[in-house]
Amino acid sequence: MLAACSLRDLPPGAALRLDLPELSAPIALFHTERGEVYAIDDTCTHQEASLSDGWLEGCEVECPVHSSKFDLRTGAVDAPPAKIPVRTHKVEVRDGTVFVDPAP
Ligand code: FES
């Protein structure tokens, strides 16, 4: 697992783009208002938008470019125009640090 950030840097309602050399593609981290932390691929599957720049609502993020919605828990598309789900990545929060296990 990769140490991604301090939980202090990702308050509830916030998102963070993680672009590390170890990653094959950038990952977006989200901290929901209910206190859950999720990680999905940062790049929208419709075009080249960064989902960490999108709007977080509940367990969904809305793409900032054409408003596709993705479920942070499953990566599923909840609203078009995107048709392909994003990958999800396992997240753990330990001692105030967010760890991510990038999906293969
Ligand atoms: S780039 Fe995300 S919906 Fe078009």
Q: Is the CB of 81 under 6 A from ligand 1?
A: yes
Q: What angle do CA 78, 11, 102 make, to 5 degrees?
A: 60
Q: What is the pLDDT of residue 11?
A: 97
Report the candidate in 102, 93, 45 with the shortest Cα–Cα distance to residue 71: 45
- Number of domains into which the chain is organized: 1
**Residue 16's pLDDT band (cuts 50, 70, 90):** very high
For the record, the structure tokens of 101 come out as 């296990």
Q: What is the pLDDT of residues 20-54, one digit of tens each?
A: 998 999 999 999 999 999 999 999 999 999 999 99
Residue nearest (by alpha carbon) to ligand 1 atom 4: 66
Give the residue numbers spanning the domain of 57: 2-101
State what percent of residues in the chain have pLDDT above 90.
96
Under 8 Å between Cβ of 44 and 82: yes
Which whole number is the average pLDDT over 1-20?
96
pTM of this structure? 0.95
Question: For ligand 1, what atom is nearest to the CA of residue 51?
Answer: 2
CATH number at residue 69: 2.102.10.10
